[in-house]
Each structure stands twice: as structure tokens, then as C-alpha cells.
């Protein structure tokens, strides 16, 4: 049996759960308390971060690798569409640059070097780019969800939720619609159930 060690609100764990559910892979999900991590999880992944997938003895402890593993099992809507290089570029920009701005915006009190609005403005550059990608289509790279959409979704959601009023007032209308579509989808609501 496949076992996923997860934390419901962790954006990395969210994207792993979404890919596993979409692919239809049978998986037992263990909700981890970050203050009391299970010994079984630490035994297979000493770094102690979620998500961790034990796929019948194969341990995968990076969310993107879990997503790719799940899609290798089954990818009915072609989320990879030939493993387009644009997917990797967007995810890398999200994980390496946007995530840093998101953390500083969300936890601005920990980064007093700049005002919160500066961190928000830096992160908003990526939101602007995503909004532009949505011109004329519902998803970032093609006419259906891709690995990029699902990998970025939890982070855009987190950024939007820091100040929902601000996000609602932004000119990123296409991105707002994109986010709402995912938040209301069966896929997202299913992986967020307690």
C-alpha cells in the first residue's frame, strides 16, 4: 500500500495530494502533526518535511517528484503534455523566487528590512505574469489543467489569502477566476477535507 505523510495546509503537500488523487493512485494519507512527527516517517525520510510518499518501499520526499511519480502511473487529461519545458520553468520560478516573496509577505514581521507592501509588490510581479498567461484561455499553458497549474495553485492561494481584500482589488481578474475555479473544483475540495 502507498502511504503519504502529509500536512493539510502545507502547499507542497496540497499539490502532491492533488496529483495523487487525479491519477487515481490508491494511497493512505497520514496527517502529520509538525510538532510530533511520526517515527515511521522520520525513519524513511530523516529530513522530516512533508510530503513524503512511501510507494511500496520507494521513498519520495519532494512534492514535485511525488506529482511526477503519480502522473507516470496515470495522466488521463495529459497534465504533462509531452513534458513541455514551460512547465518546469514556471514551477522553478514559483518554487525559487515567488515562494521567497510569499514567505516574506506572509510573515513580514520576521523580515523587518522592508515594509510588507514591498514584499507583496515583489510577489505581485509573478501574479502579473500568470494573469498574462491566462489571456484567451482558462489555464496557464493550454486549454486544460497542467502540472504547472496544479503545482502553482497552493502558493497563489496562500498569497491571495494573506490579504483577500487586496487580492480581490487587483487587476489580475483572469488569475482570480483561475484560482476560484480550482478552489471550487472537486479535486481541490476533496484533498482539503479533514
| Tens-digit pLDDT profile for residues 56-73 | 999 999 999 999 999 999
Give the model's pLDDT for residue 34.
87
Cell of 8: 493539510
Residue 84 scores a pLDDT above 90: no
Dihedral over Cα of 54, 60, 66, 68: its sign: negative
When pLDDT is averaged across residues 121-133 and rounded to a whole number, the result is: 98
pTM here? 0.96
In CATH, 2-76 is 3.40.50.150: no
Backbone angles phi, psi at 72, to 5 degrees: -70, -25
Contact between 156 and 90 (Cβ < 8 Å): no
d(CA 139, CA 174): 10
Q: What is the mean pLDDT of residues 1-11?
A: 96
- pLDDT over 90 at 194, yes or no: no
* Across 25-36, average pLDDT: 95
Q: Which residues are CB-neighbours of 38 under 8 A, at least 6 positions away?
A: 5, 30, 32
**Which residue intervals of 45-106 are DSSP H helices?**
63-73, 85-93, 99-106
- CATH 1.20.1050.10: which residues of the chain? 81-188
Cell numbers at 150, concatenated: 496544479
User: Cα separation of 29 and 141, whole Å?
Assistant: 30
Q: What is the CATH number of domain 81-188?
A: 1.20.1050.10
Amino acid at each position: 500500500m502507498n502511504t503519504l505523510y502529509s500536512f493539510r495546509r502545507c502547499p507542497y503537500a496540497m499539490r502532491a495530494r492533488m496529483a495523487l488523487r487525479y491519477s487515481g493512485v490508491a494511497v493512505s494519507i497520514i496527517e502529520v502533526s509538525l510538532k510530533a512527527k511520526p517515527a515511521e516517517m522520520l525513519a524513511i525520510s530523516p529530513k522530516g518535511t512533508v510530503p513524503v510518499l512511501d510507494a511500496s518501499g520507494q521513498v519520495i520526499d519532494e512534492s514535485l517528484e511525488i506529482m511526477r511519480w503519480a502522473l507516470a502511473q496515470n495522466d488521463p487529461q495529459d497534465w504533462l503534455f509531452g513534458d513541455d519545458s514551460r512547465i518546469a520553468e514556471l514551477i522553478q520560478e514559483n518554487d525559487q523566487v515567488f515562494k521567497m516573496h510569499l514567505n516574506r509577505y506572509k510573515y513580514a514581521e520576521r523580515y523587518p528590512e522592508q515594509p510588507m507592501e514591498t514584499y507583496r509588490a515583489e510577489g505581485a510581479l509573478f501574479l502579473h505574469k500568470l494573469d498574462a498567461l491566462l489571456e484567451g484561455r482558462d489555464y496557464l499553458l493550454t486549454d486544460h489543467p497542467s502540472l504547472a497549474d496544479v503545482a502553482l495553485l497552493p502558493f497563489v492561494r496562500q498569497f491571495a489569502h494573506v490579504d483577500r481584500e487586496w487580492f480581490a482589488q487587483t487587476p489580475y481578474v483572469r488569475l482570480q477566476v483561475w484560482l476560484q475555479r480550482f478552489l471550487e473544483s472537486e479535486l481541490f475540495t476533496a484533498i482539503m477535507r479533514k
